[in-house]
């Protein structure tokens, strides 16, 4: 059979760091081991029933069996506008300031292709969500990394960015509540970001995937709540985390009109919008009863508390995550993030994600997902404790 060579564009794509981890997990599971997988970011709970029922009803509507409007149904864009007004007191024009996305991941990859030319520069958080790199690679652009360090509460220190990089940068990625560090950001930080972006004519994209998941009574801050945010950037939101709709592939971008226009333009050439019934169900999610979201955040907070308490009991002193459904845990002395993750997998059959997979500054940490029951999280901590690594 003829083997056809990949394009240079595909060759530029970064390797999937976690593919090797997945293979190791599959090997242990196939050998009959009881593996507790805390290394993934896939919500473990079902979509709320009222959203599922809305899809079931909508799917029988013949109008949705035709092509959807290329930029999405107006009713969903209006629902997104209403959601932002209700949640954040932010005014969004549904016609010019909303782009419907096939999940936020798609938009985050597309955006670099919309705004960057070959050789252009983007500023990226380190550690950060790996797919930011994918879009930049497809655009044949360059990156400058912004280290997220514990001593700065895992926020980038703009004063330490090279001045030449600031002058050349066209795009800046942020993500709070943050994957993988579970850190949060306040309005003062976003105000500082906007001032920097205006000074250097940089477009800011705030990945707000975990926008609903804040703990201890703290509601995560939207980037668009800061004055002037729409002048220089956008925010991307997904229903995957807030409503456990990961498999539904529905998200949106809101903010700067020219950036929204660019996203709509590229999607005109790639898609014919989402299945209308999914858009109707998404409208129901955004405008309907929000008690399921409150229950979900409460569930994650309880899981967080159990995990942290049990890890403290075995002598692993870890901080409490402030948001997301992840915990960012320091690796004990004598280990790298990969060697420690390998030890936990092979000896305790507990899967965690090595921090180095999220960037150079992720070294020294592992990411743990709060995506298992309290009982399984407690058992994972107990298994780790039996390794005798930590002194009580």
What pLDDT, in 10s, does the model give residues 215-239? 999 999 999 999 999 999 999 999 9
Would you place residue 18 in the very low, low, confident or very high pLDDT band (cuts 50, 70, 90)? confident
- Given a cut of 90, whether residue 121 has pLDDT beyond it is yes
In tens, the pLDDT along 161-212 reads 999 999 999 999 999 999 999 999 999 999 999 999 999 999 999 999 999 9
Q: What is the DSSP string of 200-254?
A: HT-EEEEE-TTTT-B-TTPPPPPGGGSTTHHHHEEEEEEHHHHSS-GGG--EEEE
pLDDT at 56 over 70: yes
- Rounded CA-CA distance 134/12 in Å is 9
Do domains 15-44+291-385 and 51-287 share one topology? The answer is no
Alpha-carbon distance 363 to 353, whole Å? 11
Per-residue confidence (pLDDT) for residue 24, from 0 to 100: 79
Under the banding of pLDDT at 50, 70 and 90, the label for residue 284 is very high
pLDDT at 21: 75
Length of the chain: 392
Judge contact between 116 and 123, C-beta under 8 A. Answer: no
Residue 308: its pLDDT value, please?
97
**H-helix or E-strand spanning residue 276:** helix 276-287
- Contact between 235 and 254 under an 8 Å Cβ cutoff? The reply is yes
- The CATH fold of domain 51-287: 3.40.640
Question: Which tokens in the block code for residue 217?
Answer: 């009574």
Residues 101-130 as b or e (16 or more Cβ within 10 Å = b): bbbbbbbbbbbbbbbbeeebbbbbbbbbbb
What pLDDT is attached to residue 336? 96
- The bridge status of strand 326-330 relative to strand 365-369 is antiparallel
CA atoms of 110 and 17, how far apart (whole Å)? 21
pLDDT of res. 26: 84
Residue 269 DSSP label: T
Q: Work out the pLDDT band at 386, boundaries 50, 70, 90.
A: very high
Average pLDDT score over the chain? 95
Q: Pick from 329, 304, 331, 315: which is nearest to 386 by CA?
A: 315
The token pair at 225 is: 């709540």
* Domain segments of the chain as ranges: 15-44+291-385, 51-287
* Whole-angstrom distance, CA of residue 267 vs CA of residue 109: 12
Report pLDDT for 42: 86
pLDDT one-digit tens code per residue, 131-168: 999 999 999 999 999 999 999 999 999 999 999 999 99
* Fold (CATH) for 15-44+291-385: 3.90.1150
- pLDDT, one tens digit per residue, over 62-72 is 999 999 999 99
pTM, to two decimals = 0.95
Q: Tell me: the pLDDT tens digits for 106-118?
A: 999 999 999 999 9
pLDDT of residue 233: 97
Dump strand ranges (E) for 152-272.
Answer: 169-174, 203-207, 233-238, 251-255
From CA 6, how far away is CA 26, in angstroms rounded?
28
Which ranges of 89-209 would DSSP assign to H, the alpha helix? 104-115, 131-138, 163-168, 187-200
SS3 at position 99: strand
Instruction: Read off the pLDDT of residues 230-274 as tens digits, 9 standing for 90 and up.
Output: 999 999 999 999 999 999 999 999 999 999 999 999 999 998 889
pLDDT digits (tens, 9 = 90+) for 327-381: 999 999 999 999 999 999 999 999 999 999 999 999 999 999 999 999 999 999 9
Alpha helices in 13-73 (DSSP H): 19-30, 49-58
In sequence order, the 6+-apart residues with CB closer than 8 A to the CB of 228 are 194, 198
Q: Does position 392 have pLDDT exceeding 80, yes or no?
A: no
pLDDT for 33 equals 80
pLDDT for the residue numbered 22: 78
| Region for residue 216 given its phi and psi (left: phi exceeds 0; alpha: psi -120 to 50; beta: otherwise) | left
Q: Is the pLDDT of residue 34 over 70?
A: yes
């Amino acid at each position: 059979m003829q083997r056809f060579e990949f394009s240079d564009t595909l060759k530029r794509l970064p390797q999937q760091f976690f593919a090797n981890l997945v293979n190791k997990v599959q090997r242990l599971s196939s050998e009959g081991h009881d593996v507790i997988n805390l290394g993934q970011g896939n919500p473990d709970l079902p979509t709320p029933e009222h959203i599922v029922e809305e899809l079931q009803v909508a799917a029988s509507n013949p109008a949705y069996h035709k092509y959807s409007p290329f930029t999405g149904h107006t009713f969903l864009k209006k629902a997104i506008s209403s959601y932002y007004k209700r949640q954040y007191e932010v005014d969004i024009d549904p016609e010019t300031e909303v782009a419907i996305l096939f999940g936020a991941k798609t938009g985050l990859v597309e955006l670099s292709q919309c705004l960057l030319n070959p050789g252009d520069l983007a500023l990226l958080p380190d550690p950060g969500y790996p797919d930011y790199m994918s879009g930049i690679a497809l655009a044949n652009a360059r990156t400058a990394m912004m280290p997220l360090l514990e001593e700065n509460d895992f926020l980038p220190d703009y004063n330490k960015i090279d001045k030449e990089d600031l002058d050349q940068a066209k795009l800046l990625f942020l993500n709070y509540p943050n994957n993988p560090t579970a850190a949060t950001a306040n309005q003062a930080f976003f105000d500082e970001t906007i001032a920097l972006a205006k000074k250097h004519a940089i477009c800011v994209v705030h990945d707000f995937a975990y926008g609903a998941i804040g703990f201890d009574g703290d509601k995560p801050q939207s980037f668009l709540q800061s004055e002037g945010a729409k002048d220089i950037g956008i925010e991307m939101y997904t229903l995957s985390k807030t409503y456990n709709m990961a498999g539904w592939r529905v998200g949106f971008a809101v903010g700067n009109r020219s950036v929204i226009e660019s996203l709509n333009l590229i999607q005109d050439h790639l898609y014919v919008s989402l299945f209308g019934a999914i858009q109707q169900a998404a409208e129901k999610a955004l405008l309907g009863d929000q008690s399921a979201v409150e229950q979900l955040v409460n569930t994650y907070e309880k899981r967080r508390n159990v995990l942290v308490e049990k890890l403290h009991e075995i002598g692993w002193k870890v901080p409490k995550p402030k948001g997301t459904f992840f915990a960012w845990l320091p690796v004990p002395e004598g280990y790298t993030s990969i060697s420690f993750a390998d030890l936990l997998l092979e000896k305790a059959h507990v899967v965690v994600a090595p921090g180095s997979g999220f960037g150079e500054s992720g070294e020294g940490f592992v990411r743990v997902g709060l995506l298992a029951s309290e009982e399984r999280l407690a058992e994972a901590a107990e298994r780790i404790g039996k390794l005798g690594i930590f002194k009580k």
